[in-house]
Amino acid sequence: MGATHVFNGTQVVMVDDQYTGWCGKDTYDIVCKGPERVPATWRAANRWSCNESRESGGMQAGYRYAVLAVTLPMLAVAMPSQAQDSGWQGSLGAGAIYAPDYLGSDDYETSAWPAVNLTYGDSMYINMRDGVGWNVIHRNGWRVSPFLGYTFGRDNDDDLHHLDKVDGGVTAGLRTEYTAGHWQYSAAVETPLSGDVDGYHATAKAHWRSRLTQRLAVSLGPNIAYGSNAWTEDMFGISARESRRSGLDAYSPNEGYFRIGANASASYYLTRTWSITGIVGVSRLTGDAKDSPIVEEIGDATQSYVGGFINYNF
């Protein structure tokens, strides 16, 4: 199977010179040599445009934000859009995620979250996964973008009520993505500009995405994240004062940690503008994060989640 493109916001798959796409209730087969050569009569009648596929978005405090940062690239292979390439397009929606109440917790809860994913042509994006970014490079499958994001800290309730609260803050970073066929690879590094978390955080992900039928899209892939020593200290360290209050051993990480995981999603398009998505994933904390009493004594190094979203695509 060949390259995938979006016509009228709907992903189509090229097999040899044949593009097959779903538009409304009908399936159209269009023979052409490339997306830029879609017959003008089709473009005029159906507002067909040629652009790369878009992804949907969705978020939760603490661990749930990390869940979405990993999972939202997979919420859909392509979201239908009726906007032109030069304007705003994307999706808005809502959903819920059942996940640990903080990174490293063994207590799970369900929380509702909005789903936001917007792009302005090829130059700008706004979504819950990546924050607000500007594509300084976007060609030949590559996208490089500085971005502003947000990292959540950690509340001091339930098992952590004797520990200090860790405030989140705005982050600045750089992201690089490469798309080749059904695969998308991405890497990002960010550092906080405000809040109680210091250091830096890096992620690397790979996703295999495909549309199995005209209405059903799936995605799956591995991911890995690294938190620096300072980041790990702020999120998983326990001071002597906190130790006296909580009864947990004082703990000062000596190095950063890795979180290794995998996720999968399936999106079903009810109509050209409405879709529903289910997500599932699991990850494992390693290193000094896993050894922290916050994880080892009152939490769990294995983290899993499940969720669902409904999106309106435009």
- Per-residue pLDDT 10s for the chain (314 aa) are 444 444 444 444 443 333 334 333 333 333 333 343 344 433 333 333 333 333 333 333 455 555 555 555 445 444 444 444 558 999 999 999 999 988 999 999 999 999 999 999 889 999 988 899 999 999 999 999 999 999 988 888 888 989 999 999 999 999 999 999 999 999 999 999 999 999 999 999 999 999 999 999 999 999 999 999 999 999 999 999 999 999 999 999 999 999 999 999 999 999 999 999 999 999 999 999 999 999 999 999 999 999 999 999 98
Kind plus residue range of the DSSP H or E element containing 281: strand 274-285
What distance in Å separates the CA atoms of residue 113 and residue 303, rounded to the nearest whole number?
19
Nearest 5°: the CA angle 1, 37, 88 is 90
Alpha helix ranges (H) inside the chain? 40-46, 63-71, 229-236, 240-246, 287-291, 293-296
CATH 2.40.160.40 domain span(s) along the chain: 53-313
Q: What is the DSSP string of 144-176?
A: EEEEEEEE--B---GGGTTSPPB--EEEEEEEE
Tell me the CATH number of domain 53-313, given options 3.40.50.10360, 3.40.50.620, 2.40.160.40, 2.30.42.10.
2.40.160.40
The C-alpha atoms of residue 120 and residue 123 are separated, in whole angstroms, by 6
DSSP 10-62: EEEEEETTEEEEEETTEEEEEE-SSGGG--HHHHHHH----B---------TT
Task: Tell me the whole-structure pTM to 2 decimals.
Answer: 0.74
Tell me, what DSSP letter sits at residue 292? S
